[in-house]
Structure formats: structure tokens, C-alpha cells
């Protein structure tokens, strides 16, 4: 497996040239666009890494499935469905031109910014700090890595420049989808996006979703019905407005983030973590997607 991964990375490194690192927040612009790393964690406990798999980066939107999971665990499916829909929007992750009429829950899903911000309100906790700390603990538990934490400079950068996300949150409040202090809600979201991980962490989290909530030690972290819910939403909405193409060419549930990470879930078989920060126009890692396409063909990963 390691040899196969190295061969695929050698072929895909060239695609890092097709993209650009995210620059919507100053801290992300510092990433090296030529980096490319992968980790595959298999159901039988194998951990295979290649390339720049040890670089730590901010997870950004890759945290969204875990926000959804925490909201489901804390508030249940009925409350989640009252707040966000499950249809892909076909629009960029931070769009807010849903329609000229009222913003309704059917217009948003958990994998776009508005949906993830809304779901932060369904996490239990007396304060947003408490809510965030429960979310971070869940991330650590799924990754089996108690050391995971927030990249403070990315967080500060998000907080100082994240006015579009603030605007989205105020829209949610204006249309009564959320209540409470908007600054506190977005602060929880900014911190969540700023959690630092490497490819191994992402692959391990993906493996738990692939195994329907079962951790490597056999303990169940969550009900398998939630894995079904989250994997289905990831399949249709996880790769921004490139989810259809990704379903055709790779064929597994996955989530990307503008930090360059991709977490891909191969049901019952493996979890995959990728890092390559040069992004295409939709916010997906250029070389990361090519790597997953090749790996999917080689190992017949597509679920279709
Ligand atoms: N922090 C980013 C934002 O909210 C996350 C976006 C992403 O990774 O898609 O704009």
C-alpha cells in the first residue's frame, strides 16, 4: 500500500501547480502550495502514509461533519432537521444569495458555512466555550489524538477577517433560524475551523465514519444511524459545488476544507486523509482530488 501511495503522489504532484492557496484569511496564504501528503488507515489497523503527511494544518470545513455529529448527538435528528436541510445548494460554500425571499432551512445544508454555523447552536453547553470544548473533545476522540488543539493564529485571523461568516450568521438570526449572541456563535465556528490536524488524524476520523461509529478499540462512539446520515450528506454536499463530479470520479463520501485537507470515507474499508493546499476555484485541493481519483481506480473504492 505504501508503495502504491508513493507512486500515486509522484504522478499527482504536478497538479499542485493548477491551484492556489486560500487567501481569504491571511494565515492560510502562508501555506506551501507544493505540499502533498496522504494517509490511509485500513479497517484491519494498517496505517500507511506518504509524502507530506506529517504537516499540521487547520481543518477548516473538514470539521463540518463532526459539528453535524455533535449536533445530532446533543439535540437529535428532529432538531437538526428543523434547522438545516440536506439538499446540495450547487453554490459556493459561503454563498448567501439563496433566494430573494426568506432564508429557510431547506436552503442550507450542514456542509456549507450557514448550515455549520447554525448547527453550532445545537451543541450542548452553557456557554459557547463549553460547546466548543465538547466539540474539540469529540474530534480528539474520533481521531484517537488527545493532543489536538486550535491553531491560535489561524483562529485570530478568522476572527478578525471573517465578516462574511458574521453576515451569514446575522442572516440566520434575522430569519429566526438561530438566536443568542451571534458573535459567540461565530466564535465557536471560527475555533472549530482552526483545529489543527495532520493526514493521520483525518484518516482516523474518516475510519470511524467508515465503520459506522465504531472506534478502533471496538467501543461505539455514536449510533450507526448517524453515520448513515452524515455519510449520505457528505456524498451529495461534501465537496462544495464539485460534489457531483467527485461522486462520479471518486465515488465515496468526503469533505474538503480550504486549508487543503480532504477526509474521505470508504465504507467498511478505510479512512483517507489528504493534505495539499493548492485549491481549485471551488475550494477543493487540486492534487488531493487527483490523488483520490487515482487511488479510487486502483483499489476500486467507488461505492457505485
Ligand atoms: N473557515 C472557512 C470559512 O468559514 C472554512 C471554509 C471552508 O473550508 O470551506 O470560510
Residue with CA nearest ligand 1 atom 2: 60
Q: Residue 147: CA atoms inside 13 Å, Cβ hemisphere, count?
A: 5
Task: Please give the model's pTM, rounded to 2 decimal places.
Answer: 0.96
Strand partners of residue 275: 37, 261
Q: Is 155 in the pocket of ligand 1 (CB under 6 A)?
A: no
Once rounded to an integer, what is the mean pLDDT over residues 95-101?
A: 64
**H or E stretch at 270:** strand 270-275
Burial call 170-197: b when 16+ CB within 10 Å, e when fewer? ebbbeeebbeeebebbbbbbbbbbbbbb
Residue 151, pLDDT score: 97
Residue found under cell 476500486: 300
The yes-or-no answer on residue 98 being catalytic is no
Q: Tell me: pLDDT of 93 over 80.
A: no
pLDDT number for residue 88: 86
Q: What is the pLDDT of residue 95?
A: 74
Active-site residue 240, yes or no? yes
- Checking if the pLDDT of 133 tops 70, the result is yes
96, pLDDT greater than 70: no
Q: What is the pLDDT of residues 158-180, one digit of tens each?
A: 999 999 999 999 999 999 999 99
Determine whether the shortest distance from the Cβ of 60 to ligand 1 is under 6 A: yes
**CA nearest ligand 1 atom 6, residue:** 61
Helix (H) or strand (E) holding 265: strand 261-266
Say yes or no to pLDDT of 266 above 80: yes
- CB of 93 sitting under 6 A from ligand 1: yes
Which phi and psi angles does 26 have, rounded to 5°? -55, -40
- In the residue annotation, 189 being an active-site residue is answered as yes
Instruction: State whether the beta carbon of 193 lies less than 6 angstroms from ligand 1.
Output: yes
Cα 45 from chain centre: 23
113 touches 93 (CB < 8 A)? yes
Confidence check: pLDDT of 94 > 90: no
- The whole-number pLDDT of residue 99 equals 60
Q: Which atom of ligand 1 is nearest to the CA of 116?
A: 4
Q: Is 2 helix (H, G, I), strand (E, B) or coil?
A: helix
Q: What is the pLDDT of residues 22-73, one digit of tens each?
A: 988 888 999 999 999 999 999 999 999 999 999 999 999 999 999 999 999 9
Residues near 73 by beta carbon (within 8 Å), at least 6 away in sequence: 138, 222, 226
Task: Name which of 32, 52, 123, 55 is nearest 83 in CA terms.
Answer: 123
User: Residue 196: phi, psi to the nearest 5?
Assistant: -90, 140
Closest CA to 276 of 31, 30, 5: 31
Q: Which of 21, 48, 59, 61 is catalytic?
A: 61
Question: What is the Cα–Cα distance from 167 to 170, expressed in whole angstroms?
Answer: 5
Q: How far does the centroid of ligand 1 lie from the alpha carbon of residue 219, in Å?
A: 31
pLDDT at 106: 82
Query: What does pLDDT average to over the chain?
Result: 95
The atom number, within ligand 1, closest to the CA of 194 reads 1
What is the CA(114)–ligand 1 centre distance, in A?
Answer: 10
Q: Report the 3 state secondary structure along 185-242.
A: HHHHHHHHHCEEECHHHHHHHHHHHHCCCECCCCCECCCHHHHHHHHHHHHHHCCHHH
d(CA 67, CA 119): 7
CA–centroid distance, 112 to ligand 1, in Å, is 9
Tell me the pLDDT tens digit for each residue of 218-261.
999 999 999 999 999 999 999 998 999 999 999 999 999 999 99
Please say whether the beta carbons of 38 and 4 come within 8 A: no
pLDDT tens digits along 275-289: 999 999 999 999 999
Helix (H, G, I), strand (E, B) or coil at 266: strand
pLDDT score for 100: 60
Catalytic residue among 35, 64, 196, 204: 64
Ligand 1 centroid distance, CA of 206 (Å)? 19
- Grid coordinates representing 147 are 493532543
In the chain the first and final C-alpha atoms are separated, in Å, by 23
Tracing cell 449572541 back to the chain, one arrives at 181
Q: Any idea what the Cα angle at residue 164 is, between residues 96 and 125, rounded to 5°?
A: 95
Residue of 128, 189, 226, 275 marked active site: 189
Amino acid at each position: 500500500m505504501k508503495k502504491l501511495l508513493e507512486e500515486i503522489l509522484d504522478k499527482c504532484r504536478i497538479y499542485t501547480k493548477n491551484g492556489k492557496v486560500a487567501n481569504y484569511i491571511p494565515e492560510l496564504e502562508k501555506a506551501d502550495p507544493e505540499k502533498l501528503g496522504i494517509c490511509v488507515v485500513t479497517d484491519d489497523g494498517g496505517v500507511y502514509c506518504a509524502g507530506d503527511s506529517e504537516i499540521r494544518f487547520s481543518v477548516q470545513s473538514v470539521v463540518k461533519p463532526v459539528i453535524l455529529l455533535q449536533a445530532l448527538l446533543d439535540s437529535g435528528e428532529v432538531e437538526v432537521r428543523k434547522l438545516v436541510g440536506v439538499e446540495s445548494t450547487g453554490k459556493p460554500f459561503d454563498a448567501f444569495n439563496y433566494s430573494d425571499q426568506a432564508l429557510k432551512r431547506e436552503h442550507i445544508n450542514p456542509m456549507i458555512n450557514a448550515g455549520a454555523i447554525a448547527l453550532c447552536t445545537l451543541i450542548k453547553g452553557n456557554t459557547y466555550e463549553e460547546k466548543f470544548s465538547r466539540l474539540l473533545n469529540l474530534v480528539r476522540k474520533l481521531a484517537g489524538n488527545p493532543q489536538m488543539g486550535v491553531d491560535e493564529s489561524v483562529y485570530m485571523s478568522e476572527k478578525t477577517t471573517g465578516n462574511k461568516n458574521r453576515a451569514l450568521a446575522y442572516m440566520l438570526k434575522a430569519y429566526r433560524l438561530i438566536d443568542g449572541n451571534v458573535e459567540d456563535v461565530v466564535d465557536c465556528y471560527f475555533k472549530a475551523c482552526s483545529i489543527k490536524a495532520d493526514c493521520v488524524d483525518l484518516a482516523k476520523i474518516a475510519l470511524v465514519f467508515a465503520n459506522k461509529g465504531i472506534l478502533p478499540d471496538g467501543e461505539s462512539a455514536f449510533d450507526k444511524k448517524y453515520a448513515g446520515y452524515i455519510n449520505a450528506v457528505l456524498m451529495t454536499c461534501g465537496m462544495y459545488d464539485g460534489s457531483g463530479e467527485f461522486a462520479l470520479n471518486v465515488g465515496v463520501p468526503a469533505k474538503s476544507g480550504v486549508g487543503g485537507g480532504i477526509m474521505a470515507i470508504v465504507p467498511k474499508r478505510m479512512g483517507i486523509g489528504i493534505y495539499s493546499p493548492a485549491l481549485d476555484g471551488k475550494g477543493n485541493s487540486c492534487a488531493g482530488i487527483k490523488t483520490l481519483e487515482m487511488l479510487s481506480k486502483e483499489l476500486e473504492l467507488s461505492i457505485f
